[in-house]
Amino acid sequence: MTKTVGFPMIRNFSGDSRDFIPELFAFMDRYDDVEFYLEEGYGERLGYTADDYLKASDKVHFVSREESFGKDITMILKNPEPEDLEMLKDGSVYFTMLHYATRPKVREVIARKGLKTFAMDHIVDDEGRRIFADFFGTAFNACQEAVETLKDVYPDFYSEERGPIKAIVMGVGGVGQNCIRSLEILSDREFLGQNAYGILPIICTRTITGHPELFNELLKDCQLVVDATQRRDETQYVMTNEQVGMLPEDAVILDICADRYDFLVDPPLVKGVEGTITGGPGHMVIYPDDPGYAEIEGTVVDSTNRRITVSCNAWPGVDEKRSVQIYYGLMKNYVGIILQKDYEDISEDSDNLFERGLYRSTFTYFMDHWKK
């Protein structure tokens, strides 16, 4: 029986124009009994044409957005809004970035429609390390934007009279570690060979942020705060709004996590740094008077103290040409398994590392292991 595979376009992340490139469809052409249904206009924002995809595989067809969602399998790099997910066929396979823990409305749709999901962001190896991720691309794009912003707002950026530019990095996972590397590269780019001191990254783990008497002192002369945390409890802040107020007025907060507030659940889900708001590819630098703050005014969130925030809900997509090549390489490890095997046959006992990772990304696995 032929499996139909739909490829809708990202439309809910303003400025994120990433689609899977024609090379991926040429790669998938080798698999029998599959047909690919791309939303009209697919790839055009990246500079590709319909002919580029049609030449890659004669299994490619262009259809309406609704039709691209209604297939046996759906693949898209970023998860659409819950109302879009209603177009998915009940019981179908769905492969995307799902962020189960912080998306209760998405979890509800998955459960109600019986979707057989694989979450790209939950694919991990046998030691629990993410293996479907562009950690360096995420970290470097974010840190570069933050440093460029700091250059604009910090009058002493190039001064030889100041001390080192202190940059607190909260979180030491894959993204946090690459933030340290990125800040080294950016510091060398700006200051190597000059008399001015460069950027001094300070790693703050939970054993530091969890001790206000120490953490507060570090914040007082810190010019850059990077939130690269992966919280176990999304109802708790890593940094309160009171602590935001301890930062220098010309400090910059870098929001790599780009979590959302969700006031429809009790207790509500909150961002790692209280009172910040989330940006996107077309609006990454958020000033204290940004109209977006209206969304949290009158809520339980305190946004009294504000600093310039650099935030994006699609950091890899800032360098879209590089990003689509990276994700093309990652997808090649998984599409054959998804297209050739039945969902129920994908196993954690497989001798294939990528299949084991896929199994751990399922909604069923998440619900069985999630610490509620």
What CATH number did the domain enclosing 141 receive?
Answer: 3.40.50.720
Measured between alpha carbons, how far apart are the two ends of the chain, in Å? Answer: 40
Percent of the chain at pLDDT exceeding 70: 99
Residue type, position 72, single letter: D
Secondary structure of 169-232 in HEC code, one letter for each residue: EECCCHHHHHHHHHHHHHHHHHHCCCCCCCEEEEEECHHHHCCHHHHHHHHCCCCEEEECCCCC
State which of 274, 293, 317 marks the end of a domain: 317
Claim to verify: residue 297 and residue 148 sit in the same structural domain: yes
Q: Are residues 185 and 283 in the same domain?
A: yes
Are 311 and 186 part of one and the same domain? yes
pLDDT at 72 over 60: yes
Model confidence pLDDT, tens digit, residues 297-349:
999 999 999 999 999 988 887 888 899 999 999 999 999 999 999 999 999 99
How far apart are the C-alpha atoms of 67 and 6, rounded to whole Å? 8
Indicate if 364 and 336 belong to the same structural domain: yes
Residues 91 and 154 occupy one common structural domain: no
State whether 259 and 362 are in the same domain: no
102 and 149, same structural domain? no
pLDDT digits (tens, 9 = 90+) for 127-175: 999 999 999 999 999 999 999 999 999 999 999 999 999 999 999 999 9
| pLDDT classification of 14: cutoffs 50, 70, 90 | low
- The angle at the Cα of 158, spanning 153 to 163, to the nearest 5 degrees, equals 100
Q: What pLDDT score was predicted for residue 264?
A: 84
DSSP output for 275-318: T----BTTB-EE-TT-GGGGGTTTSS---SS--EEEE-TTGGGG
pLDDT of 231 reads 86
Q: Do 127 and 139 have their domain in common?
A: no
Domain count for the chain: 2
Model confidence at 12: pLDDT above 80: no
DSSP state of 336: H
The predicted-structure confidence for 93-109, as pLDDT tens digits, reads as follows 999 999 898 888 899 99
pLDDT one-digit tens code per residue, 210-261: 999 999 999 999 999 999 998 888 899 999 999 999 999 999 999 999 888 9
Contact status, residue 168 vs residue 218, Cβ threshold 8 Å: yes
Q: Residue 100 in contact with residue 363, Cβ under 8 Å?
A: yes
Instruction: Clarify whether residues 188 and 301 are in a common domain.
Output: yes
**pLDDT at 83 (0 to 100):** 86
116 and 57, same domain (yes or no):
yes
Instruction: Tell me which residue range forms the domain holding 171.
Output: 135-317
pLDDT of residue 62: 98
* Averaged pLDDT score across all residues of the chain: 94
Same domain, 125 and 247: no
154: number of Cβ within 10 Å: 20
Q: How far apart are CA 91 and CA 336, in angstroms?
A: 20
Helix (H, G, I), strand (E, B) or coil at 58: coil
pLDDT of residue 371: 59
Q: How far apart are the C-alpha atoms of 242 and 219, rounded to whole Å?
A: 11
372 pLDDT exceeds 70? no
Same domain, 159 and 255: yes
CA distance 154 to 149: 9
Report the alpha-carbon distance of residue 151 to residue 156 in Å, rounded: 9
Distance CA 168, CA 170 (A): 6
Q: What is the pLDDT of residue 230?
A: 86
Q: For residue 69, is pLDDT > 70? A: yes
Q: How confident is the model at residue 13 (pLDDT cuts 50, 70, 90)?
A: low
Domain end call among 297, 317, 337: 317
Average pLDDT of the residues in 49-53 = 98
